[in-house]
Amino acid sequence: MPAFAASHPALVAALLLTCSNLFMTFAWYGHLKNLAGSPWWMAAIISWSIAFFEYLFQVPANRIGFTALSLGQLKIMQEVITLCVFVPFAVLYMGQPLKLDFLWAGLCMVGAVFFVFRGA
């Protein structure tokens, strides 16, 4: 058994969801930079191909995470991870300016985490 498999299910789920989100972010937004001159259907096919790998991480992440977390906790964890992956992607890969709005969105997510995980 791999060492990480013996870890807490929430930790394993978080790691798998992070991998899933890397693929998801490129599938959803990478074509805006790399395939801007290509037809939309080509971008869709390539994005679906990338999304296949997203699902190879996302499905086991949710199954493992659901053994220790409620559905709401699992969803909020996913959203926090999405924001943590998206912001560096937007700034570093897509060349978008770092905005204070990212901080405010992050603070809203901290509030969501607090309310969903309190008393857990």
> In the structure encoding, which two tokens stand for residue 35, read together?
């395939």
Please report, for the chain, the start and end positions of each structural domain, with discontinuous segments joined by +: 3-117
Residue 5 has pLDDT above 60, yes or no: no
pLDDT in tens, 15-46: 999 999 999 999 999 999 999 999 999 999 99
Q: Which position has the token pair 């901080």?
A: 103
Cα distances from 10 to residues 4, 66, 74, 111, in angstroms, run 11, 8, 8, 19
pLDDT (average), residues 53-72: 96
Residue 64 CB neighbours (<10 A): 23
